[in-house]
Amino acid sequence: MPTPNAFPLQERIPVGSTLKRVAHLAILSLLVLLLLYRLSSLPHHGLPWLLALLCEAWFTFVWLLNVNAKWNPVIRRTHPAHISKRCEDLPAVDMFVTTADPVLEPPIVTVNTVLSLLAIEYPAHKLACYVSDDACSPLTYHALVEASEFAKSWVPFCRKNGVGVRAPCVYFSREPEPRQLLSPGFLKDWELMKDRYEQLREKIEEAGRAGDHLCFDDELSRPTKLDRGGHPSTVKFIWENKANVADGIPHLIYVAREKRPRYPHHYKAGAMNVLTRVSGVITNAPFMLNVDCDSFANNPQVILHAMCLLLGFEEEAMSGFVQCPQKFHGGLKDDPFGNQFVVAQLTAGLGMDGLQGPFYLGTGCVHRRKVIYGAAPNGEFSAQEPELERKFGSSRELKESAMEVLMGASKTTLAIKDLSSSVYAAQQVASCTYEFGTSWGEEVGFVYGSTTEDVQTGLRIHGMGWSSVNCSLDPPGFLGNAPVDGPASMTQIKRWSTGLLEVVVGRNSPLLATLAGELRFRQCLCYLSLNVWALRSLPELCYALLPPYCVMADTSFLPKVSKHSQLH
């Protein structure tokens, strides 16, 4: 019998280069010499010299943080072909898509993301797709209903023809691959599918233009006007894989959590926690994939690759979550606003995989459900009733399902026994008062209190001692949209950088997680380099203002070249 290592699921390949390290050390010594020179000559100079010293000291500090992050780069190789040899049955996965506004995030975008997930290469009876709609918009709901009809021909078409990108808008924006044209009848199928997709798109866009006439069901059970701020919780099964078969289409469930004007909703983190609970009482898969509504699956094997990284280690603690790097589709050429983070992905992205693992980036990530439930790696969990209720809230169904997860049950199919009772329980856990007095948003679930809930949630997970793993694939696992104009990029960067700064001083600070928790020191420095992003603007601005100031004040912050030192 072969040993398990004969079929590794993943390989870790360090790619550190000595040359790069020598270059870093050379730069470090130059920086130190510059600072020493400034310091020693400070008494002979005025304020500009002191300001230059402070700015350069700060730049050196940030430079050190960055070098720390990229010092030990690692790449991962994954072998999905070995999965069947290593485990008998694949685990189940709940897939979450969040959307918040049918105008800013048109339903056709969400529909494409959902279709790319429904058609993913993974047994369909092990998948369930949940869409959270924070606007509770009938437009989004109806678009998904139409999409589920379309999926009945789209998913078999993708499987039969080994389609690469399974978001139809991207697939049909290109000509079919020449290799596919060789198979008889392909072109006819392709044209038919393309026509059907066009019809779907037109129908959805037409409904959007027509505006308010839609309501949730055929009967007028709900105000037709969109009310984003106040609505009851709505959970609807759009499609159920009743036959529970591998080559069917995964369950598709629409979720709009309850919203009331005076109750905090905690933005995306709140939506993710509702999805976690709703899926907990319906399918309760041990793994959860989450994507933004605009990040479609670009590599149909992405879940299989992620599974290699989740199942391929001796110890679970090595992979609390698996994060695909955030890559973008249709972004501006050469990334003029720098919001595609191309360099950071290649440097810190690979470097952190050599430490405790990549940050959680909010999209393109597969979590272990028990990690989100606050379990420590290989740790004991108190299963006492009062403890469970304090943490997870009062729903009996949720407490039972959470127990299963924390005890390590590995669920492999997602057949639904009693639809109506699980929908009832789901509506209950999606209410806006459910979390009061519980640990949701703190010890359990996605962390509240910051506009960058993702980084903060990842930090909490690393702080408990879990590692994470980078899943960098070719073609990339998911592709999202980056803002394509200056103002939108600035708004996004301002939101991120302020959110990240709040974290340093809050109770979820990486410093505290290192001192009192299990966050490793060098990983803490990686978090710090991200968290102090907003502060970098001050010394940068100051340093940029020094030359004009010195010209105007007829002084200098740079050493003067003396006659003797000039080269002739």
Ligand X SMILES: O=c1ccn([C@@H]2O[C@H](COP(=O)(O)OP(=O)(O)O[C@H]3O[C@H](CO)[C@@H](O)[C@H](O)[C@H]3O)[C@@H](O)[C@H]2O)c(=O)[nH]1
User: Sign (positive/negative) of CA torsion 69, 305, 96, 176?
Assistant: positive
Q: Which residues are annotated as a binding site for UDP-alpha-D-glucose?
A: 105, 134
**Among residues 116, 363, 509, 514, the one that binds ligand X under rule CB under 6 A:** 363
Q: How far is the CB of 256 from ligand X (least distance, A)?
A: 10
- Of 92-100, 116-124, 206-214, 406-414, the window that binds ligand X (rule: CB under 6 A) is 92-100
**Nearer to ligand X (CB atom), residue 297 or residue 406:** 297
**Nearer to ligand X (CB atom), residue 55 or residue 256:** 256
Distance (Å, rounded) from C-alpha 138 to C-alpha 142?
Answer: 6
Distance (Å, rounded) from C-alpha 329 to C-alpha 484?
Answer: 11
Q: Binding of ligand X at residue 293 (CB under 6 A)?
A: yes
Contact criterion met (CB below 8 Å) for 112 and 205: no
- Of 162-170, 264-272, 305-313, 332-340, the window that binds ligand X (rule: CB under 6 A) is 264-272
Residue (of 201, 120, 109, 197) closest to 164 by Cα position: 120
Distance (Å, rounded) from C-alpha 242 to C-alpha 530?
Answer: 46
Q: How far is the CB of 108 from ligand X (least distance, A)?
A: 14
**Among residues 94, 134, 353, 435, the one that binds ligand X under rule CB under 6 A:** 134
Q: How far is the CB of 480 from ligand X (least distance, A)?
A: 6
Which amino acid is present at 555? T
Distance (Å, rounded) from C-alpha 237 to C-alpha 186?
Answer: 33
**Among residues 146, 258, 316, 454, the one that binds ligand X under rule CB under 6 A:** 454
> Which own/partner contact pairs does 169-178 have at CB distance under 8 Å and 24+ positions apart?
169/108, 169/112, 169/197, 169/201, 170/112, 170/296, 170/298, 170/329, 172/197
Phi, psi of 424 (to 5 degrees): -65, -45
Distance (Å, rounded) from C-alpha 196 to C-alpha 467?
Answer: 44
**Nearer to ligand X (CB atom), residue 353 or residue 453:** 453
| Total binding residues toward ligand X, as defined by CB under 6 A | 17
Q: Binding of ligand X at residue 258 (CB under 6 A)?
A: no
Q: How far is the CB of 376 from ligand X (least distance, A)?
A: 25
Q: Binding of ligand X at residue 297 (CB under 6 A)?
A: no
**DSSP string covering 37-99:** HHHHHGGGS-HHHHHHHHHHHHHHHHHHHHHHHHSS-EEEEE-GGGHHHH-SSPPPEEEEEEE
**Triad 21, 24, 30: Cα angle to 5°:** 145
Residue (of 119, 97, 124, 127) closest to 110 by Cα position: 97
**Nearer to ligand X (CB atom), residue 271 or residue 464:** 271
Q: Binding of ligand X at residue 52 (CB under 6 A)?
A: no
**Nearer to ligand X (CB atom), residue 126 or residue 268:** 268
Contact criterion met (CB below 8 Å) for 274 and 430: yes
Q: How far is the CB of 522 from ligand X (least distance, A)?
A: 23
Q: Binding of ligand X at residue 105 (CB under 6 A)?
A: yes
Distance (Å, rounded) from C-alpha 446 to C-alpha 453?
Answer: 7
Q: How far is the CB of 226 from ligand X (least distance, A)?
A: 15
- Of 248-256, 263-271, 336-344, 404-412, the window that binds ligand X (rule: CB under 6 A) is 263-271
What would you report as the CA-atom Rg of the chain, rounded to the nearest whole angstrom?
26
Phi-psi region of 554 (alpha: psi -120 to 50; beta: other; left: phi over 0): left
Q: Binding of ligand X at residue 452 (CB under 6 A)?
A: yes
Q: Binding of ligand X at residue 100 (CB under 6 A)?
A: yes
**Among residues 70, 268, 411, 462, the one that binds ligand X under rule CB under 6 A:** 268
**Alpha carbon 510 to its chain's center:** 19
Q: How far is the CB of 105 from ligand X (least distance, A)?
A: 6
**Among residues 146, 258, 292, 435, the one that binds ligand X under rule CB under 6 A:** 292
**Nearer to ligand X (CB atom), residue 452 or residue 467:** 452
Q: How many helices and strands, by DSSP H and E, does the chain display?
A: 21, 13
- Of 94-102, 142-150, 367-375, 511-519, the window that binds ligand X (rule: CB under 6 A) is 94-102
**Nearer to ligand X (CB atom), residue 354 or residue 362:** 362
Q: Which residue is nearest to ligand X (CB)?
A: 362
- Of 93-101, 145-153, 216-224, 437-445, the window that binds ligand X (rule: CB under 6 A) is 93-101
Q: How far is the CB of 97 from ligand X (least distance, A)?
A: 7
**Nearer to ligand X (CB atom), residue 73 or residue 357:** 357
> Which own/partner contact pairs does 194-199 have at CB distance under 8 Å and 24+ positions apart?
196/150, 196/153, 196/154, 197/150, 197/154, 197/168, 197/169, 197/172
**Among residues 98, 241, 339, 497, the one that binds ligand X under rule CB under 6 A:** 98
Q: Which residues are annotated as a binding site for Mn(2+)?
A: 268, 292
State the catalytic residues. Answer: 134, 454
Q: Which residues are annotated as a binding site?
A: 105, 134, 268, 292
**DSSP string covering 96-159:** EEEE--TTTS-HHHHHHHHHHHHTSSS-GGGEEEEEEETT--HHHHHHHHHHHHHHHHHHHHHH
**Nearer to ligand X (CB atom), residue 276 or residue 452:** 452
Contact criterion met (CB below 8 Å) for 365 and 324: yes
Of 485-504, binders to ligand X (CB under 6 A) are 492, 496
Distance (Å, rounded) from C-alpha 277 to C-alpha 284?
Answer: 9
Per CB under 6 A, residues contacting ligand X are: 98-100, 105, 132, 134, 267-268, 271, 292-293, 362-363, 452, 454, 492, 496
